[in-house]
Chains A and B, each alone.
Chain A
Amino acid sequence: MFSKPNDPPMLTAFKDSSLVGMIALLIFSPISGIILNGYGFNTHPQTPIMLAFIVFIGRFAYQLAALTPWGQRLIQKFMLSKGKRGVYVASPGDQRYLWIILAILFIAGLVLPFYLSKYYLTVAILALIYVLLGLGLNIVVGLAGLLDLGFVAFYAVGAYTFALGSQYWGLGFWSAIPLAAAFAALLGGILGFPVLRMHGDYLAIVTLGFGEIIRLVLNNWMSFTGGPNGAKAAEPSLFGLEFTRTAKTDGHIPFHEFFGTTYSPNTKFIFIYLVVFLVACLMIFFFSRLRTMPMGRAWEALREDEIACRSLGMNHVTIKLSAFMMGAMTGGIGGVFFAAQQGGFVNPTSFTFFESALILAIVVLGGMGSVVGVVVAALVLTILPEMLRDFADYRVLIFGILMVFMMLWKPRGFLPIRRPYFTKEGQA
């Protein structure tokens, strides 16, 4: 800004860094330089100055690095990925051995719960639930390109369908899964039909509002949902066998009595884990296959160019609606497992906007459309915070930093998007 074109590069760098430092000082001064104390306030001038100085040094170092050839190469490599798209076309036969890896992972996933403690079982179940939610939102945001900031609404609807259903109509765990899926999809359809004619920002705001409305209704409709006290869902069961010490429902017998083993509190979580694992695998299969089917292709085409889609005779509203409903359905299924994992107890505090943001982070980090990426991101983003309990306070900060770096470095996610290769015979 203050620099002239013929300044020596060092001076330019210094001036630029000073400017950045000044901006940092302006921003940090009110935030960290003034601390409220009763009705007055204390000033801490040294804090913002120090922060601004750190920013200045950082910027100056970056500028100096940019002057050296190796620094330039480094920046080229890590910062500016604008030239590269992060999309590539598969080559025929490059996934020939994929099924071996998948089979190993599948068996490992099946065996895993028997070696986990109860605490890590609940973490693993939660991670798989987020895989489901990530897959669901991935359809809406990653494939169809519809920014949905209220995805948690469908998650809540799923959880509450199970809880309220079992409270009022004696709904069981197994019947709750399809019912919650159908109900969430129906709600998604009802919301979507009028809303999906909107674009980008408008849609984001409407969905954000919808997420909050659902939470507020659950919180305030005391007589039906139990309000902040929450609702209690039935114990999960398998062919009438329950996983509790004594049966909670008439006609059911506890699992350990039936098999004549001793009671273990883990059994129930192993059971939930296995069910959610199988459902997640099914969904992964379903969605990866869908990507190469007309419906999935239409979603992606819609994300690429809606006007072109309309010119090709595709009804953009119904295509968006199908994506929205499919995503909602998956969110609803996730909700049922969440209610089961929570020991059957759900309350509205689990369904805040932060949850929507977390699921969106999973989709963005996973790479907007990549099934594998979303699965990995979901596992990492749920398991890592549990492992790093000591840093729990910084979780959101770390998410934020991670997101900023992702956007700069790999805006299309960790894994590049793979496009199918076609021969005249079919997909290779």
Chain B
Amino acid sequence: MTLQEERHVLVVYPHPDDEAFSVAGTVRMYRNMAVPVTYACLTLGEMGRNLGNPPFATRESLPDIRRQELVAACAAMGIEDLRMMGLRDKTIEFEDDEKMVKLVTNLIEELNPSVIYTFFPGFAVHPDHEATARAVIEAVRRMPKEARPRILAVAFANDTVEKIGEAPIVVDIRSVKDDKIKALQAHASQTAWMMAETEKRIDDGEVLSDSWLNVEKFYPFTFED
């Protein structure tokens, strides 16, 4: 499908690299259409496990490395409005729920987005992903129906297709595949091993058909009322 024009796109994810895996191609396409995009990244992935052996970072130096990676990934995606929200990795579900809703509400009131990209609650695997999705959905639910932005959500739990079916929205990102690769590569502390593996498969002539480098898939989140 082709992307429609948007007033403003808001992307809300908890970890640097969530956006690269989930929406990098889609965001790059919006930016190529001159649609404004804001990325609110809630943490700096402070609790990332991959420090290397021999290690390239410590538990205490990792956040700085990931901040730089996030800035570089945003450059690859063309995101000019990056908000680092200052929460700590793996603690979002323990924050006050109202505070989290308020955080999202404030962003919506400031930016007036026509669509929000986030995770799909119940199918987002990581507790931070789930807590982020819950906050976004609750913030939007509280808005008057006619004022609500659309929510396009990423789901990747093992039981996703079984429970909610195939994703109805499939964005063809082949035209910006190189930019998605650059965004993923920018998060080297998280993706270096995986990217090397992928390059090897491409070198070996394996065709990654219908893979995560060709399409990005989303589920619209709809409300009962």
Judge: A and B partners, yes or no.
no
